[in-house]
A and B are shown apart, each in its own frame.
Chain A
Amino acid sequence: MANRVAIVAVSQNAGAESKDNFYDQAYRVVKDALDKAGMSREEIHTVVSASSDIFHGGISCANAYYWESSAAFLKPGSRQDGESLFALAYAAMRIMTGKHDTALVVGLCKGSENPENDTCTHMFTDPFYQREVGLNETVAAALQMRLYMERFGVTHEQCARVAVKNLGNALRNPYAHKKGIYTIEEVLDSKRVIDPLTAMQIAPKSEGIIALVLASENKAKKLTDKPVWLKGYSSSLDTFNFGDRDLLNGQLKNAASRAYKMAGITNPRKEVDLAEITEPYAFQELLWCEDLGFCERGDGGKFIDSGATQREGALPVNASGGVLANNPYVSRGLQRAVEAFLQIRGEAGEHQVGKKVRTALAHGTHGFAGQCHAVAILGI
């Protein structure tokens, strides 16, 4: 990358429902990130936020509402919709041009003021065909899960193991919304929501205000001894009509291969030390691990059985508890980047993994069965 971009400080709020109003939450998280970077608002050159009007408490043009409380008052700025990792990439581009030295990235989604996630995701459908049949993200995921199990022989137990692992990891993450020690049986016996998905295999609806301070190489070296570099990034979008898609052969491979190329990664299994993956449905962690090249096609079930993705495994996945533990729909991708940053810096507290993390992957996805994916590679 010509002009390198670093993340120098991050902040996030807790995922559980909060009585604090949106403004207070946004202000506190942004202020905390700036304090950690040792910067004043005046030193931030540009602000790129991520939010979605459909996930914004009944207020349209979400960026209008929080513009000032997210430090963007009379600053050059913009907003990304849908996937918060887009905002990370766009802010980095702004710095790479040399026009800006520093940037603030903010993801904002206050789940407690929204209807159920699927009331919102239902609105991703076109109004003529797919909306009538009641398609939403969970229905789409259930269809994808059924196909995944049938084609590759992945078992219910293997899918449930993701929830056991992630909710267990979340016990060590003070920001996690859902957490606990559960057995595979308990996960499988939880309420059947849409067959074959049970309640504990589905991510909750959480609060998520996330802030990251980005800086150019020169500026980053002045701000911190431990800059974390954005080494690679890409995204990819799939076709719209659900029935036209091959749900087991989606766009994540595309996004990942471009991000790996940019980061100079040829063997992700060896070169990626840790991954934070957006898995709003437990089985998706297995499928996305395959797409990311961490294991062979169809081996996602065996991969988790091997223990590799455990917190002390060879390639820890979602040591934070992932999205099953914390799901602020829009900002969940950016939260993965925050967790990757903390692990690389050795600042993840009780959920810090045992191995040294030099390169970490943050993945975001939104839409039905992963219609859109984004992948960011962070490293020292």
Chain B
Amino acid sequence: MGRPVAIIGVGQTKHGRRMDVSYPDLVREAVLRVFEDTGLTPDDIDGVVSGTMPSMMEGVALTHFYFADAMQAVGKPILKTETCGSTGVSIAHTAFYWVASGMADIVLAVGHEKMNEGDSQATMTTVCEPFYQRHFVAGAPGAFSMQSRVWMDNFGIPEDKVRDAAAYISKTHHDSAFDNPYAHVKLRVTIDDVKNSKIITYPIRLLDVCPNSDGACAVIFASEEAVRKLGRKKVAWVKGIGFRGEEYYFGDSDKAVWQSAIQAAKEAYDQAGINDPRKDLDVAEVYNPFTFQEMMFYECFGFCGFGEAPDLVLKGIFARDGQLPCDPSGGTLCSNPIGATGLIRVAEAALQVMDKAGDHQIPGARTALGHAMGGADQFNGIMIVGSEM
């Protein structure tokens, strides 16, 4: 496990349609905020981890070049981590390993995306190879709608119940976004609004789907020694990490009993000493670009049994005042600058255990999970943070 590592500060942009800033300035906004938050300067940074989505979405390849100055990374050692949608959590993992290995004391992790200047769904389609899969995959919603059907069929969950639970998730997350100053979509919706919104790919409707956001996130990781030297009290210790990738061909794997999600969670739980995640975790920031998929993650992460998630959602178990609040920030459903999104999940988890989440703080949160998913439903990454070392 190496040396203990903590998150000592986070910086986020106001996510949304940010036509007021250039892409480098968007990155700079998040980076300056994390320096402001921690009181550190670029001179304190031993290394920088950067990452985002594929070059087709960026319009620029190897973006660490373009953002070298915005990330205050000139003259610094650099790593460039990209694993598709799970990039944000993979960036956090890289920063963790860099510090835990003893190769650096303080590392800056930066994730970013300016989706309104690109074509995210066209790019997503090119994740699939050009001969077989590309013709079938209608961007991300195509894959996720198929997955949600498999899940319902597999466990015999009535479609009406799933529809109600998904609408509940959409409504409550949209409400939560009002308490998060950085969230993109701020919209009051009712259960009926969700159920009657436009169909994207059946059974997924517009209000089940995340937006295209511009946004960036910067997080600073530090060694125990650095935390002590800096005299920091409120930090988020990294307790466990997990990552798994599975079959490239979408049809080759079981996407209901979803091994990459199950095993990534298990790896992180084993390391963090978590036996009963619903009890042991106080908050989870689950990557939820689609309401249906959020419920599948609850099951794969062991928050409940397979096929049980819709019932528990409707009972409020995962609501802000429930047993295990999920996505009190509004989650990916309300802000999704993809290359930053996974890192935002980790940052939000860290804010919760540092008691710095403001209006969407879960009182007394001590252990929190951040998660991201990527590829054509292929990769899952997790980071668990806690208030105690």
B82: Cβ under 8 A from any A Cβ: yes
Q: Looking at the complex, which one of B54, B81, B100, B248 makes contact with A97 (CB distance below 8 Å)?
A: B100
Question: Which of B59, B65, B246, B260 contacts A367 (CB under 8 A)?
Answer: B65
Residue of A nearest to B243 (CB): A76
CB contact list, A192-247 vs B, under 8 A = 233-241
B170 at the interface (CB under 8 A from A): no
Is the C-beta of A63 less than 8 angstroms from some C-beta in chain B?
yes
Report B349-380 CB contacts with A as 1/0, cut-off 8 Å.
00000000000000000000000001110110
How long is the Cα–Cα vector from A136 to B99 in the complex, in angstroms?
35
- Is B242 part of the binding interface, using a Cβ–Cβ cutoff of 8 Å? yes
Residues on A with beta carbons closer than 8 Å to the beta carbon of B64: 81-82, 237, 372
A125 at the interface (CB under 8 A from B): yes
When the two chains form their complex, are residues A238 and B74 in contact, meaning their CB atoms are under 8 A apart? Answer: yes
Contact with A along B57-82 (1 / 0, CB 8 A): 10111101111110001111111111
A168 to B379, CA, bound (A): 45
Q: How many residues in A have their beta carbons less than 8 Å from beta carbons of B?
A: 62
Given known pairs A90-B97, A126-B66, A371-B65, the reply for A61 and B103 (CB within 8 Å) is no
A-B contact count (CB 8 A): 199
Contacts of B93 in A (CB 8 A): 78
- Chain A residue at minimum C-beta to C-beta distance from B252: A68
Partner of B80 from A80, A125, A234 at Cβ < 8 Å: A80
Do A65 and B129 have beta carbons less than 8 Å apart?
A: yes
> A307 to chain B: closest CB distance in Å?
34
- Given A81-B82, A237-B78, check contact A61 B244 (CB 8 Å): no
B71 and chain A: residue at smallest CB distance: A237
Bound complex: CA A3 to CA B82 (Å): 26
When chains A and B are docked, how far (Å) is the Cα of A1 from the Cα of B104?
Answer: 12
* Contact in complex: A93, B97 (CB < 8 Å): yes
B176 at the interface (CB under 8 A from A): no
What separation, in Å, do the CA atoms of A306 and B57 have in the docked complex? 49
Q: Which of A75, A96, A120, A368 contacts B103 (CB 8 A)?
A: A96
A182 at the interface (CB under 8 A from B): no
Measured CA separation A236–B75 after assembly (Å): 5
**B130 — nearest CB in chain A belongs to which residue?**
A58
Beta-carbon contacts under 8 Å, B27-67 to A: 48, 51, 53-57, 59-62, 64-67
Interface pairs A-B: 7 shortest CB-CB: A97-B2, A60-B54, A96-B101, A54-B61, A61-B84, A93-B101, A123-B61
Instruction: Identify the A interface with B (CB < 8 A).
Output: 1-3, 52-54, 58-61, 63-68, 72-83, 86, 89-90, 92-94, 96-99, 120, 123-127, 233-241, 251, 254-255, 258, 366-368, 371-372
* Chain B residues proximal to chain A, CB less than 8 Å: 1-3, 48, 51, 53-57, 59-62, 64-69, 73-84, 90, 93-94, 97-98, 100-103, 123-124, 126-130, 242-248, 259-260, 263, 267, 271, 374-376, 378-379
Question: 15 other contacts beyond A82-B80, A240-B65, with CB at 8 A cut-off?
Answer: A52-B55, A60-B124, A60-B127, A74-B260, A80-B81, A80-B82, A81-B51, A90-B79, A93-B100, A94-B97, A127-B59, A238-B68, A241-B69, A255-B77, A371-B68
Can you give 13 contacting A-B residue pairs, CB < 8 Å? A59-B128, A60-B56, A60-B57, A64-B376, A64-B378, A67-B375, A73-B246, A79-B82, A81-B62, A81-B82, A126-B66, A233-B103, A237-B76
